[in-house]
Structure 1
Amino acid sequence: MRSTGRLLSRQIGRSAPLALICGACIGAAIVYGQSSILGVSTNQSLKLLTLFTLQFVTPFGVSLIWALRCAPLHLHSRRPTGPASSVRGHDVLAWPGWVATAVLASLLLLPWFQGGAILGGLLMAPRSGQGLQSELYEIIRLSRPGLVLQCFGQAAVFTATCYLILQRKLAAITRSAGHVALQLADALTECLMALLILQAILLLVLPPFSGSRA
């Protein structure tokens, strides 16, 4: 339990700053593109920012950041040090806990990413007559519980998928006792492809911007 807590703390420490910066850049780009380039009103730009990030960008982003920043930690912490058979037996018993740790790490990154997106969007939004407080209230109002839960669920599924890909690569490392860099490069590529496929499926299954309806 203590080692799991340390690993979780290290994952958040490695990933949270990147999640905050990426979220802020994406939020600023969305609002700037809508308000300054397309001439959309500030309220509509912030509405699009909230719905687009919660439904698509944030769960995809935190899962990808977890894969990029935390996958090396998992490979390093779980690199086989004993007989292959004993390592495989231990992994069979322990992998559900490792999946839970990975999912929890990505869920803890959600406020960093989404908060960065909101902050970046507010900073780039032209000031309207309502003022910053009213704009922030509108963002909070649009962040309905169902939409937030959907975001958490997508992030959990995306991250669990990335972890299972990583687990398969770890088994390959266990068998070959080497080639960690090659297996990690393959795992990250496969994680990206899996996330894109899952996102495309969600676009077909879930109606975009469904949270805009009351």
Structure 2
Amino acid sequence: MKQETKHIVWHDTAVQKQERQQRNQHKSCILWFTGLSGAGKSTLANALEHRLFERGLNSYVLDGDNVRHGLNKGLGFGEEDRKENIRRIGEVAKLFVDAGLIVCTAFISPFAEDRNRVRALVQEDEFVEIYVRCSLEACEDRDPKGLYKKARTGEISNFTGISSPYEEPLQPELVVDSDQHSIEACVNQMITFLRERNYLPD
């Protein structure tokens, strides 16, 4: 592998990230939604993107399930495959940032080390960790895909929150309590945060 990769050189693009941001009239960044299964990561990421789209801003959602249909097809849910899953998403998200977009990534991403590794791929202000906080009890009550029920009966192994750990973010940029507030209220909270931090135009 080393013999093959040592001859690969990064090729700079003719259009720079800053130029794309100027045209888009907003900063590009990764909005990294993390939380338990059923916490509402995908729901909130899509609701936020819809609000951004309505305002003419350029964004895209990378969803955990969707990515496993293609890019990460074949990866399982053991610890090493989970790490590889997040590593690939991080690299793709980095490209979206370079393209001048706001990329919303909705992944459980249970391990702090993996999330921090993605953070290190981009500039300090280009990674926004959004902890979609929701109690395990509320997630199990929702159980939109019936996964918790299967995990409790042993049909699914390595299930985050049940048979596999979830490491809560210690210092996320933003905490959204999805079991305490409506989708609209959560989106408003995120929009306010992004405005105040100058990610979005007034």
- TM above 0.5, one fold? no
- Structure number having the greater helix percentage: 1
More strand by share: 2
- Structure number with the bigger relative contact order (C-alpha 8 A, sep ≥ 6) is 1
Larger radius of gyration: 1
TM-score (ref. length: structure 2): 0.30
